[in-house]
Every structure is written in structure tokens, then in C-alpha cells.
């Protein structure tokens, strides 16, 4: 991905954040500069590796995933941004859980009504 493309993505993110506090946008700028996309890809790899190990044990019924996508007033980002950056990653994790016949429980604080259909679609 070119630097110009990455910059456009981050501009889109920063313009679509629904947080009011300026600290939130500052936080996203820090995430941008530290390579958040590669970080989340590595986290998905870590979770899938962990699930592959856990899936070999008897007596484990499922896994609780904890991602706070919302606050009281709605999502912490636009639903389009969530779909672009998180939906596919969540699906990879859930597909791995299903491969091992593990039940998925997703905890998310806040009002995530805008993405409930997406969550059902990926297997929550």
C-alpha cells in the first residue's frame, strides 16, 4: 500500500470519528503513526494461533472476545470504517473458533446497533 493511500485512509478515519474529546483524535493520530493496521493483523494472527492450541483441549466450550466498539451514544467510529477495518478480522477469528466447534461470545460496551446485522453475518 502506498504512503499516499495510507495517508488517505487515516484522513478518512480521523474525519469519521464520532468521539467528541480531542484526546480521541490525538489517540488515533498516535495509532496511525505506530502502524495500527499491522498491529491488528498481528493480533488476529496471535488470536488464531491461540485458538488453534485451545481447540486441541477437551472441556473448553467457547471463547469470549472483548472489543468495545461503542459508547453510550453509538459506535466509536462510523459503521463503514468498522466494516473496512474490523469486520473481516473478526470473521477470521470466528471462523477459526467455529473450525474447532467453539462457541463465540462477543462483549462490546456501548450502543452497537448499527453493526448488529454485521455481527450476525460474521457468526456472533
Which tens digits make up the pLDDT trace of 38-56? Answer: 777 888 888 899 899 888 8
Burial call 50-60: b when 16+ CB within 10 Å, e when fewer: ebeeeeeeeee
Residues 6+ apart with CB under 8 A from 95: 123
Q: Are 64 and 51 in contact (CB under 8 A)?
A: no
Residues 6+ apart with CB under 8 A from 66: 106, 107, 108
pLDDT of residue 23: 46
Q: pLDDT for 58-89, tens place per residue? A: 888 888 888 888 888 888 888 888 888 889 99
Distance CA 32, CA 106 (A): 26
Q: What is the DSSP track for 7-71?
A: HHHHHHHHHH----SHHHHHHHHHHHHHTHHHHHHHHHHHHHHHHHHHTTSTT--EEEEE---EE
Amino acid at each position: 500500500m502506498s504512503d499516499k493511500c495510507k495517508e488517505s485512509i487515516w484522513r478518512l478515519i480521523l474525519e469519521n470519528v464520532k468521539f467528541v474529546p480531542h484526546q480521541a483524535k490525538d489517540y488515533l493520530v498516535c495509532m496511525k503513526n505506530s502502524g495500527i493496521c499491522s498491529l491488528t493483523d498481528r493480533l488476529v494472527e496471535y488470536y488464531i494461533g491461540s485458538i488453534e492450541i485451545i481447540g486441541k483441549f477437551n472441556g473448553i466450550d467457547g471463547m469470549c472476545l472483548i472489543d468495545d466498539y461503542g459508547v453510550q451514544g453509538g459506535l466509536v467510529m462510523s459503521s463503514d470504517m468498522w466494516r473496512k477495518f474490523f469486520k473481516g478480522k473478526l470473521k477470521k477469528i470466528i471462523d477459526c473458533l467455529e473450525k474447532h466447534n467453539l462457541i463465540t461470545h462477543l462483549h462490546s460496551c456501548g450502543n452497537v446497533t448499527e453493526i448488529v446485522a454485521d455481527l450476525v453475518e460474521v457468526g456472533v
